[in-house]
Amino acid sequence: MSFTGFPVAALDFYDDLEMDNTKTFWTEHKQVYEQAVRAPMAALLTALEPEFGPAKIFRPHRDVRFAKDKTPYKTHQGAFVPTGPSTGRYVELAAPGVRVGAGFYEAAADRLGRIRTAIEEDRRGRQLERLLADLVASGWTVGGDKLKTTPRGYDADHPRIDLLRHKSLTVGRSYGFEPVIHSAELVDRIRADWRAVTPLLDWLDANG
């Protein structure tokens, strides 16, 4: 199957799932999920694989064992292409459309410590600042989980204290409902954006 875009039915599926996140709804609409969501996502990733490598398509079921929210299904379909431990490229389909991202989404304590050491250091820290500034200037947004306080061992007045607070560090951009998400041209759009984040991923993988 070649990728021809996500059908409108994929967005409608997640609109409806947000309203009725139950096993009954899922069972009745599983074929819509398989045909309108999962199959096109797999085809998209197959088209991108020669350049970026194989992707993991996440399961639609939520792990609710320790969650207060017991709704059984995710209201989006995500996929991840790793470049290193917890680092890589991301694509997601949901009711609001399609978005892409990249960065490190979680890190073991030792790896996070190495990244913070690099951020603290003047040369490498400024390099990361420039990489992020370039991405923001071209339409990306910076995200990730952050500490509310100063990480232990660091100066609250450090010029990059905001970056040092990150427990994960990502960039993302949304295509929303742009017509491109319903066409084969989405492959080229994502390919260009995933190429644009390569310097950031290289920095994270080299310093983590």
Q: Token pair 């998400």 is at which residue?
A: 181
Reduced to 3 states (helix: H, G, I; strand: E, B; else coil), residue 29 is: helix
Average pLDDT value for residue range 107-112: 91
pLDDT at 107: 83
Domain ranges of the chain: 8-207
Residue 19 falls in which region: left (phi positive, over 0), alpha (psi -120 to 50) or beta: alpha
Average pLDDT of the residues of the chain: 96
C-alpha atoms less than 13 angstroms from C-alpha of 162 in its C-beta half-sphere: 7
Count of beta carbons in the 10 Å neighbourhood of residue 150: 14
The whole-angstrom separation of Cα 37 and Cα 161 is 40
The whole-angstrom separation of Cα 32 and Cα 25 is 11
| Per-residue pLDDT band at 64 (split at 50, 70, 90) | confident
The listed CATH number (3.30.930, 3.50.40, 3.30.1120, 3.30.70) that belongs to domain 8-207: 3.30.930
pTM: 0.94
For the chain, state the CA radius of gyration. Answer: 19
Give pLDDT tens digits for 140-171.
999 999 999 999 999 999 999 999 999 999 99
45, pLDDT greater than 90: yes
Both tokens of 31, joined, read 């074929």
